[in-house]
């Protein structure tokens, strides 16, 4: 399979602080890869090095197999920070300026990308009158102007309402499935990433801690039994004593999650109650992407 982005040992230091540390990463053609991490994990720094806004301290970046990223970067549409639009220009005028600057021949591309971004009716409004969500849409339209083979998007749904988030999700899926556009995306709305990504990369404190496919995540995020009890320490002892191979975690506020023995939920309930442990809630639910990520970085 063709490779779009390859990163080897990528590192970025600010004085004594490492924003990104020895990062190895590969993005294959056709993927929708979600980069997941807390604020300050190094996601934006990584994206800025890919776009050429920051120079790495060490390491190598290859784009489309070339070790000279400047030559192939034009094939990627970047939405990392708010683009430098002219506030007194309309959306259409801004895109016309960037169309000429970037050597895009077809004037019809402006109408096309405005429609894709849901801005057709706002095309003649000046950018200074745009909300944050509308500016995000315009930034995405700018990304699409040169018909990129790959999109690198940092929080593309920032400022959008639920309807707008859904529209952007559908657009990204359409670009990927119908036009084979490869996508690398970061977002704090993990439930949205779980709806579109084919692979997940977890980054924490500048280091890549795991990469996992959609199928592998679905297998690991299988159903779990959740109990809310008044004495989690006593409940844990009872579970370990009666179910030697039980897989469980004690969570805050008296919650216990059990990953196996779901078929024994009634037996578990009876065991705890008969031994003086009060259960106020018991339910079976799917483990979410957010739960899995927090487990991986050791947080409840």
pLDDT tens digits for 265-300?
Answer: 899 999 999 999 999 999 887 767 887 788 777 764
Query: Burial of 250 by CB count in 10 Å (0-12 exposed, 13-18 middle, 19+ buried)?
Result: middle
Question: In the predicted model, what is the mean pLDDT of residues 9-16?
Answer: 92
Q: Percent of the chain scored above 70 by pLDDT?
A: 99
Domain boundaries defined on the chain? 3-218, 222-296
Which CATH architecture group holds 3-218?
3-Layer(aba) Sandwich (3.40)
pTM summary value: 0.81
Question: In the predicted model, what is the mean pLDDT of residues 65-75?
Answer: 89
pLDDT of residue 159: 86
**17-40 confidence digits (pLDDT tens):** 899 999 999 999 999 999 999 999
Question: In the predicted model, what is the mean pLDDT of residues 116-129?
Answer: 94
pLDDT at 75 over 90: yes
Which CATH architecture group holds 222-296?
2-Layer Sandwich (3.30)
pLDDT at 88 over 90: yes
**198-235 confidence digits (pLDDT tens):** 999 999 999 999 999 998 888 777 778 889 999 999 99
């Amino acid at each position: 399979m063709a490779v779009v982005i390859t990163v080897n040992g990528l590192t970025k230091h600010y004085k004594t602080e490492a924003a990104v540390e020895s990062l190895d990463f590969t993005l294959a053609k056709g993927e929708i890869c979600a980069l997941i991490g807390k604020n300050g994990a190094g996601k934006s720094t990584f994206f800025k090095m890919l776009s050429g806004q920051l120079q790495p301290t060490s390491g190598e970046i290859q784009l489309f197999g070339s070790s000279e990223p400047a030559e192939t970067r034009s094939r990627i549409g970047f939405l990392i920070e708010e683009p430098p639009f002219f506030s007194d220009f309309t959306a259409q005028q801004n895109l016309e300026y960037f169309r000429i600057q970037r050597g895009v021949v077809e004037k019809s591309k402006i109408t096309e990308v405005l429609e894709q971004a849901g801005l057709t009716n706002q095309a003649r409004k000046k950018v200074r009158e745009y909300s944050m969500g509308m500016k995000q849409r315009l930034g995405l339209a700018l990304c699409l102007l040169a018909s990129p083979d790959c999109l690198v998007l940092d929080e593309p749904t920032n400022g959008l309402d639920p309807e707008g988030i859904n529209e952007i999700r559908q657009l990204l899926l359409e670009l990927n499935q119908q036009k084979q556009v490869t996508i690398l995306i970061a977002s704090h709305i993990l439930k949205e990433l779980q709806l579109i990504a084919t692979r997940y990369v977890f980054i924490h404190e500048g280091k890549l801690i795991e990469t996992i496919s959609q199928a592998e995540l679905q297998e690991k995020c299988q159903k779990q039994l959740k109990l809310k009890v008044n004495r989690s320490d006593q409940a844990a002892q009872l579970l370990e004593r009666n179910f030697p191979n039980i897989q469980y975690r004690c969570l805050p506020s008296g919650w216990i999650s059990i990953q196996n023995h779901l078929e024994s939920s009634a037996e578990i309930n009876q065991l705890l109650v008969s031994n003086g442990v009060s259960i106020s809630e018991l339910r079976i639910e799917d483990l979410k992407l957010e739960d899995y990520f927090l487990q991986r970085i050791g947080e409840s």
